[in-house]
Amino acid sequence: MKLRRFEDGEGKELLDLPRAPLPAADTPAPPRFLPVWDATLLVHCRRTGILPEEYRPLVFNVKTPNSVNTFLIDGQVAGTWRYDGGNMRIRPFDSVARSARRDLEDEAKRLAAFHS
């Protein structure tokens, strides 16, 4: 299979389809909601690129082998969420910029509609 090859900031190889569109380099990652046991979070559990070290104890419990539902803002874990009675309950770990909050709430509405 023919693939395009790139390098990340650490020199590791990244692969993509030959003609897949690429966003501009300054395009922020959209907010995403991750469930418990999501592979994206588990595979990066010891890499601070996705999960900042100060939030690790809020996501992974050392007494049990599970995590919690999390959401990403600009590609990093920024808080937790739960679906409750038709609504998404969002708990950021820190303040969230107004524009990011708006995008997060829009994504939360789409996820709540999916659950309904």
**Strand-by-strand arrangement of the 70-73 sheet:** 32-34, 70-73, 76-84, 87-92
**Per-residue pLDDT at 49 exceeds 90:** no
72-84, pLDDT tens digit by residue? 998 899 999 999 9
Give, rounded to a whole angstrom, the gap between the first and last alpha carbons of the chain. Answer: 40
Mean pLDDT of 94-106: 93
pTM strictly above 0.75: yes
Q: What is the pLDDT of residue 65?
A: 66
The fraction of the chain above a pLDDT of 90, given in percent, is: 46
